[in-house]
Structure 1
């Protein structure tokens, strides 16, 4: 058994020193790299060294599964093949291509970051970790991934996969939801990645977590670093990692209405908040149809009448849950300019970027 170090028998402040002494021969890192070069996933963004393309993929992959991202990535790269085309694209066009991918602020951050690359870096993608981290929407994980994959910089990535692998390799029961544990594992990853090819090691760790060292029922018999894994030796791999989150979702209850005026639908463009820049149905936190009608009149100085209750929809975001009681309704008052600005034919509606929470209602 080639132990890295025993997490359970060492104080946290000595783990890094112990790690170094166990990995002077680079066996662990090289085993990951060799496995990745043979068994790694064939993904479209891995067929290029273009940092722009790698950046787009990494932003899309934030909190989104690989299989979901692939078709979006192809369409996005076809529409915006370089940073200049993205920087000058209309925001509605970007949102429409993003529709259904979720976390829409990522799309607005992409455009803002593209403009910064054009204006502050003369259109050349920044090639230092610090400059990459300065881009809107790029955090430490994404900056590390781009730095290592596109520029071979020795920055280890910390995500669910690498946290899970290290927890099992070290048989460590530190809570990976804590910032202190993530900081510790970041130090470990930065030491490891300096011992081999940064791109292949980071991507190998990601693929190992996705394909073998999975959250449930890890395929330990196929693991290229099983000889290093203290959890496998102790038969504790299914207990790890410890991931206890202190997070409560906020429940919000709406009356949400599909409103028509003659042959057009009423939608509003969100100016800020969770779905900024997207077009959605009108909804209010009210407990009765009369309350909705009053709130609409106060906002648009036009009468509306809810005609029929349709169904209940529930949509889960990362920190909140929308409970939407859906009604059909008609706008009764005379059309004014404020009203006209929100009316769209069915054909026009199909071209608007609409969040998944409301799109599934319209498609019902």
Structure 2
């Protein structure tokens, strides 16, 4: 901490703010959530941008705000529609937490996003970064908004050799941002840091010669900008083999299943699937037995139509896709449904199952 403090003191604070903010005002991208400073829109955009690229988020943000223009609209929407609006963005706990939190804002704060650190931080899914982003961007409060982007930028500017993968490191960076943030233009300052990390101070090969704050950057002057930030690797992903099947009944309806309301991809819909042992070579008879044992369903397997691979942060799904038939007498509980091809559009599926359905439809043509 002593070292970081010395490095902060080396910086001409006013000049640093001026160089950074004036660059942002000139070079900032036109993004839909920057059109106004509506706290609700800032909130939605920041939740969407977690672990997701800006270019990917733009169409989702526009659709989401089109479907749910206000906090009241989102608070009163049913979960299936909210999940459908998010379909394809991944990390679905983000939108479930957002949905729960806006209901609380509607009930507790009369639909107004709270403007104090204490109140906003108590909302579900609103961590220190999101709270800081909303408070600074929408409310003009000099609060730090420290994510991986900002930690990367500040690790280089202040030559900070803390491991940014460790949760404890965030405090070091929050303290640094607090000392350097502009109190006159905190919204522009925080957004400028985010923009700098996205466009110039990138994870590999930073464009130092284009950087508006290069003269303030101690990492650049020491020639260590490419060695920073320090970030330990995550643990290896686990591989899961799935045998998943599109089952149709006599009326050409497709059987779909709602996932449990907690855990991975909670409350999203999927096609029936079973996990198989990695060393197991699955034939049709074994598959029929697996589905009978797992779901008490009698199916007929026609053929395998392809393989899909889907990577999560902590695991990899290796999916073998089959097609088959089932008697429509099978309906054990509310988590299973038969739907027509047209009706399937109303249900939110994770990306691997969207790809699986697309493959199925292409092969039918």
TM-score by length of 2: 0.90
What is the CA–CA distance in structure 1 between the aligned matches of 2:205 and 2:328, rounded to whole Å?
Answer: 62
Map of 2:14 onto structure 1: 26
Deviation at 1:223, TM superposition (A): 0.8
Map of 1:181 onto structure 2: 169
Map of 1:135 onto structure 2: 123
Tell me the secondary structure at the aligned position of residue 145 of structure 1: helix
What is the CA–CA distance in structure 2 between the aligned matches of 1:178 and 1:152, rounded to whole Å?
Answer: 29
Map of 2:106 onto structure 1: 118
Tell me the secondary structure at the aligned position of residue 315 of structure 1: strand
Over the residues paired in the alignment, what is the CA RMSD in angstroms?
1.9
User: Residues 21, 239 of structure 1: CA spacing in aligned structure 2 closer, same or farther, 3 A cutoff?
Assistant: closer
Correspondent of 2:81 among 93, 102, 110: 93
Which ranges of structure 1 fall in alignment gaps of 5 or more residues?
1-12
User: Residues 72, 137 of structure 1: CA spacing in aligned structure 2 closer, same or farther, 3 A cutoff?
Assistant: same
What is the CA–CA distance in structure 2 between the aligned matches of 1:134 and 1:358, rounded to whole Å?
Answer: 34
TM-superposition CA deviations, 1:120-158 (whole Å, max 9, x none): 112111111121111111111111111110111111121
Map of 2:265 onto structure 1: 275
The total of aligned residue pairs comes to 351
TM-superposition CA deviations, 1:244-296 (whole Å, max 9, x none): 12422121111111111120111101123211121101111124344442343
User: Residues 62, 334 of structure 1: CA spacing in aligned structure 2 closer, same or farther, 3 A cutoff?
Assistant: closer
Correspondent of 1:285 among 275, 289, 293: 275
Give the alignment of 1:328-347 within 5 angstroms: 328-331=323-326, 333=327, 335-338=329-332, 341-347=336-342
Map of 2:222 onto structure 1: 234
Tell me the secondary structure at the aligned position of residue 267 of structure 1: strand
8 Å CA contact 2:20, 2:192 repeated in 1: yes
8 Å CA contact 1:302, 1:334 repeated in 2: no
8 Å CA contact 1:16, 1:187 repeated in 2: no
Identify which range, 66-75 or 211-220, moves more after superposition: 211-220
Deviation at 1:339, TM superposition (A): 7.7
User: Residues 219, 300 of structure 1: CA spacing in aligned structure 2 closer, same or farther, 3 A cutoff?
Assistant: closer
Deviation at 1:233, TM superposition (A): 2.0
Tell me the secondary structure at the aligned position of residue 168 of structure 2: helix
What is the CA–CA distance in structure 2 between the aligned matches of 1:327 and 1:221, rounded to whole Å?
Answer: 53
Tell me the secondary structure at the aligned position of residue 28 of structure 1: helix
Map of 1:50 onto structure 2: 38
Map of 1:9 onto structure 2: none
Map of 1:5 onto structure 2: none
8 Å CA contact 1:307, 1:329 repeated in 2: yes
Map of 2:53 onto structure 1: 65
Map of 1:360 onto structure 2: 355
Where has structure 1 moved over 6 Å in runs of 4 or more?
none
Correspondent of 1:213 among 190, 201, 215: 201
Tell me the secondary structure at the aligned position of residue 103 of structure 1: coil
Which ranges of structure 2 fall in alignment gaps of 5 or more residues?
360-365
TM-score by length of 1: 0.91
Deviation at 1:41, TM superposition (A): 1.6
